[in-house]
Amino acid sequence: MSAEIEKRLAELEEAGLRRRTRLVSGPQGAHVMLDGRSVLLLCSNNYLGLADHSRVKEAAVAAAERWGAGAGGSRLVSGTMTIHQRLEERLAAFKGSERALVFGSGYLANLGVLQALGTEGTLICSDELNHASIVDGCRLARARTAVYAHNDVEHLRWLLERAPERDALVVTDSVFSMDGDLAPLEELGELTAARGARLIVDEAHATGCVGPGGRGAVAEAGLDGAEHVVIVGTLGKALGSYGAFVASSALVRELLVNTARPFIFSTAPPPAALGGALAALELLSEEPERVAQLQSRARTLCDELAREGFDVAGSSTQIVPLVVGEARQAMAICEAALELGVFAQAIRPPTVPEGTSRLRLAVMASHTKEELREAARTLGRAALKAGFRPGEGIPVAAASGPRQERLEGWAA
Ligand SMILES: Cc1ncc(COP(=O)(O)O)c(C=O)c1O
């Protein structure tokens, strides 16, 4: 039995795909102590720097003092704490939806929403570059799944027109987690409304980062409050805490409470995480300039990387991929950058399609412009050291290939 596991790990090593975690001491700030050395952190989703904000931390501590360290069980068994209810009211108002429902994580929220809405006789249309939790949600659902080409509305229309199913769901990231580009939400909103289909939008990397006051790409597209739109958002990225939520109509929420397995069969998120998220939402409404600062910092990094010869045209958000191609080369650049004091994690298959390994850079509002300028220069040097000329990178659009396996029943 152990020999089989060792063999699988050796195969991963051989392919340059073996993972290991690195040890970080201290919070996710612009700089972290990594394996004992201070480095610039350029791969954290703590986009607004709120994970280490004094008010967020104090609110987390206060919530633990008042409600205890744990929620005690599934809310259907041991009850909804008042802090769950309070956060859900705040999240619904923030997202402009009728109601919200908190989940243990974004991974669980995507599983829950797709499994609950994707019943037998439904067609789920999923963008080929959607996050793994959406892919797994499609697997858990009893619906048939069709994968459409990345951001290709015409391909999606083609699929929907030919679908024999009466009910259909379209599911997409709004900010794509590994590419930093945006889904064409206005068109998707129109197309789904015309077909009588539901549109599920994963705003994990949009919440707190894009749209008016950081309310997300759905709000930016004017789809907030639309009855057919269901939003998944996370608390663990820009909101600096942990957990997730679904913002939807009251009817969909009621269905989730009754049928979403990750809600029913899992302990509710702990009070400290909810208290931290509440404080983060408060900070965001008091200081919306944090969002503008994040976007401005992202532009600075892109400009500086372009100056170094990197192709970063595909990104329009705080997520900036440097697509390298081969997994080993991406790892070599990552290690060379670390040596020079910049931590930018390499992302390899199966997280991204074969042949599109990359450094996924994530900007934080708390990075200074000078830090980002210096980081771009460092990455340029690291690339050369690893034998990679920045101009030779694969443009994101060309690099994007099918990542989800083609689930049964679809041939385009
Ligand atoms: C697009 C997207 N959706 C969902 C998730 C999962 O969220 P969580 O980390 O809260 O489980 C992630 C996490 O990386 C993500 O990138």
The per-residue pLDDT for range 379-390, each reduced to its tens digit, is 999 999 999 888
Q: Both 58 and 22 in a single domain?
A: no
Question: Looking at residues 146-154, what average pLDDT do you find?
Answer: 98
Q: Is the pLDDT of residue 407 over 80?
A: no
Whether 209 maps to a domain, the answer reads yes
Instruction: Give the mutation target among 127, 150, 177 for probing the ligand 1 site: most ligand atoms within 8 A of CB.
Output: 177
Whether 162 maps to a domain, the answer reads yes
Q: Both 142 and 245 in a single domain?
A: yes
What is the spatial distance between Cα 222 and Cα 82, in angstroms, rounded to a whole number?
31
In short, whether 244's Cβ falls inside 6 Å of ligand 1 is yes
Q: Both 247 and 106 in a single domain?
A: yes
Question: Looking at residues 298-309, what average pLDDT do you find?
Answer: 96
Please name the residue whose Cα sits nearest to atom 16 of ligand 1: 177
Please name the residue whose Cα sits nearest to atom 5 of ligand 1: 106
In short, whether 386's Cβ falls inside 6 Å of ligand 1 is no
Q: Is the pLDDT of residue 189 over 70?
A: yes
Q: Both 35 and 89 in a single domain?
A: no
* Total count of domains within the chain: 2
Whether 73 maps to a domain, the answer reads yes
Q: Both 304 and 385 in a single domain?
A: yes
Whether 315 maps to a domain, the answer reads yes
Distance from Cα 392 to the centre of ligand 1, integer Å? 30
Q: Both 88 and 187 in a single domain?
A: yes
Domain boundary among 285, 307, 332: 285
What is the spatial distance between Cα 46 and Cα 10, in angstroms, rounded to a whole number?
33
pLDDT of residue 404: 46
Q: Is the pLDDT of residue 378 over 70?
A: yes
Distance from Cα 226 to the centre of ligand 1, integer Å? 23
Q: Both 251 and 294 in a single domain?
A: no
Q: Which of 205, 366, 203, 213 lies closest to 287 in space, CA to CA?
A: 213
pLDDT of residue 390: 83
Question: Looking at residues 181-190, what average pLDDT do you find?
Answer: 98
State the residue range of the domain holding 218: 54-285
pLDDT of residue 199: 98
Alpha carbon dihedral 100, 222, 205, 329, in 10-degree steps, equals 150
The mean pLDDT value of the chain amounts to 94
In short, whether 234's Cβ falls inside 6 Å of ligand 1 is yes
Whether 409 maps to a domain, the answer reads no
DSSP summary character for residue 323: E
Q: Which residues are catalytic?
A: 177, 205, 237
Whether 173 maps to a domain, the answer reads yes
pLDDT of residue 408: 38
Q: Decide: 28 and 51 in contact? Cβ < 8 Å.
A: yes
Whether 406 maps to a domain, the answer reads no
pLDDT of residue 391: 74
Task: For the chain, give the percent of residues with pLDDT over 90.
Answer: 92
Whether 4 maps to a domain, the answer reads no
pLDDT digits (tens, 9 = 90+) for 335-356: 999 999 999 999 999 999 999 9
Q: Is the pLDDT of residue 396 over 60?
A: no
pLDDT-derived band of residue 399, with 50, 70 and 90 as boundaries?
A: very low
Min mean pLDDT across 21-25, 87-91, 207-211, 228-232 is at: 21-25
Q: Both 184 and 221 in a single domain?
A: yes
pLDDT of residue 35: 87
Q: Is the pLDDT of residue 412 over 90?
A: no
- CATH code assigned at 297: 3.90.1150.10
Question: Looking at residues 225-238, what average pLDDT do you find?
Answer: 98
- CATH code assigned at 201: 3.40.640.10
- Provide the b/e sequence for 229-260 (b: ≥16 CB within 10 Å): bbbbbbbbbbbbbbbbbbbbbeebbebbbeeb
Say which residue, 113 or 400, is predicted with more confidence.
113
For residue 74, what are the CA distances in angstroms to 33, 79, 257, 273?
37, 7, 11, 16
In short, whether 358's Cβ falls inside 6 Å of ligand 1 is no
CB atoms within 10 A of CB 397: 12
In short, whether 105's Cβ falls inside 6 Å of ligand 1 is yes
pLDDT of residue 140: 97
Distance from Cα 54 to the centre of ligand 1, integer Å? 25
Domain boundary among 285, 314, 341: 285
Distance from Cα 366 to the centre of ligand 1, integer Å? 22
Distance from Cα 136 to the centre of ligand 1, integer Å? 12
Please name the residue whose Cα sits nearest to atom 10 of ligand 1: 106
Q: Both 31 and 104 in a single domain?
A: no
Q: Which of 215, 216, 263, 295 lies closest to 111 in space, CA to CA?
A: 263
Q: Both 263 and 295 in a single domain?
A: no
Q: Both 71 and 192 in a single domain?
A: yes
Please name the residue whose Cα sits nearest to atom 8 of ligand 1: 106
pLDDT digits (tens, 9 = 90+) for 55-104: 999 999 999 999 999 999 999 999 999 999 999 999 999 999 999 999 99
Question: Looking at residues 41-57, what average pLDDT do you find?
Answer: 98
Q: Is the pLDDT of residue 410 over 50?
A: no
pLDDT digits (tens, 9 = 90+) for 116-127: 999 999 999 999
Domain boundary among 285, 318, 338: 285
Please name the residue whose Cα sits nearest to atom 4 of ligand 1: 106
Q: Both 238 and 360 in a single domain?
A: no
